Amino acid sequence: MTKKSKIIIITTVLSVLALMLILFGAVFCLYKQDVVFVGERENTLNITNEQIINSAGLKKGDSILLIDKDMAINNIERAYPYIKVIQISTVSPIKIEIRIRERYEMYYAYSDTSKLYYVLDEELKVLRISETLPNGLTKIESTILGDSSIDILGITSNTVVCDFLSNENYRSITYNLFFSMINTLNIENANREGIKALVTNVQFAKGYTLKETYDRIIISTNKGFTIDIGKPQIELVDKVNVCFSAIDEFISKGETAGTIKVTYLDNGEERINFIKSDS
C-alpha cells in the first residue's frame, strides 16, 4: 500500500469518526423536559412546570448521557421545599421526565435555641419556619426519660427551610411510622388528616436496662393510649401494627387510658404489655 493510499484511508476513517461524533452529539443532546405530577396539589398550585424545569438547572444541548440528575433533584427541592422529586428518567435520547409529588405538612418541632417552630413532612424536611404554634400537626420532641431535653433531632438556630432534621436514622423511623399507621388504620395515603388527628405527639427517647441504653419512640394518641416502642430501628412496622391494633381491643374491655408496649420473647413470640393509667 502506497503512502498516498494510507493517507486517504486514515483521512476517510477520521472523517467517518468525526461524522459519527457529530451525529451522536446531535442525537444524545437534551431537547425536552417534561414534569409529571403524582397525586394532588395543594401547596404547589402556583408553581408551574416551566418554573420546576428552570430550577433544575439543565440546559438544552447538554449531553443527556452526562446529566447530573442528583444535582438537578437537589436544585429543584431547594428551590421549592414542598416538592419531592421521585425520579428523573431518560425517556428518549433527547428527552427526560421529572416525576414529582407534593410534600405534606405532618409534624412540627420547637427549638429552645431559636424560639421557632419548624414545620416538617414525614421525612423531617423543614417545609417552613413559624414564630407561632402550627395547628393540626403532630409534635415531635426528644428527651432522655427522667432527665432534661436533649437535641437528638439536631434543631439549631441555624436550621433553614429545605434542611432535613436529625440524621438518616430518625428520618427513616418517622417515615416508616407514618406509613405503618396508614396501613394499620386503613387510612388512604392522601388523607393525612386522620393520622394528624389521632397522633398528638411523637417522642424520641432513650430507655435503659442494666445491660444497655436503647432508642425508644413514644406515641401519644387522642384516645388516651400511649404506644411505647423500644428499639424502633428493628421491626418497627410490625411493632406499630401490633400496638395500634391493640387499642381497639383494650377499649372493648372497658379500658380508657394506659400505655401499650410490645416485647418479643426469646422464642420469637410477641407479647403485649398494658400499663393502666393511674388517672
Comparing 77 with 30, which gets the higher pLDDT?
Answer: 77
Do strands 270-276 and 258-264 pair parallel, antiparallel, or not at all (unpaired)?
Answer: antiparallel
Residue 131: strand, helix, or coil: coil
Could you give the percent of the chain with pLDDT greater than 90?
A: 23
- Contacts with 182 (C-beta within 8 Å, 6 or more apart), sequence order: 188, 189, 195
Residue from 124, 128, 117, 121 nearest 160 by CA: 128
Provide, rounded to the nearest whole percent, the portion of the chain with pLDDT above 70. Answer: 77
Mean pLDDT of all residues in 52-78: 85
Q: What is the pTM of this model?
A: 0.78
Q: Residue 216 has which C-alpha cell?
A: 425508644
Write a three-state SS string for 67-117. CCHHHHHHHHHHHCCCEEEEEEEEEECCEEEEEEEECCCCEEEEECCCCEE
The span from the CA of 233 to the CA of 237, in Å, is 10
User: Model confidence at 19, in pLDDT bands (50, 70, 90)?
Assistant: very low
Torsion of CA 201, 161, 233, 101, to 10 degrees: 100
Checking DSSP bridges between strand 126-130 and strand 107-111, what pairing results, if any? unpaired
Q: What is the mean pLDDT of residues 76-96?
A: 89
Smallest CA-to-CA distance from 197 within 225, 223, 170, 229 is with 223
CATH architecture assignment, domain 27-102: Roll (3.10)
Residue 6 has pLDDT above 60, yes or no: no
pLDDT at 151 over 60: no
Does residue 265 contact residue 271 with C-beta atoms inside 8 Å? yes
- The residue-averaged pLDDT of 275-279 equals 75
- Strand ranges in 103-195 using DSSP code E only, listed in sequence order: 107-111, 116-120, 126-130, 138-144
Q: Could you read off the pLDDT of 158-204 as tens digits, one per residue?
A: 889 999 887 777 888 888 888 777 777 665 544 677 777 788 889 88
Q: What is the CATH number of domain 107-276?
A: 3.40.50
- Domain extents for the chain? 27-102, 107-276
- Cell 448521557 -> residue: 65
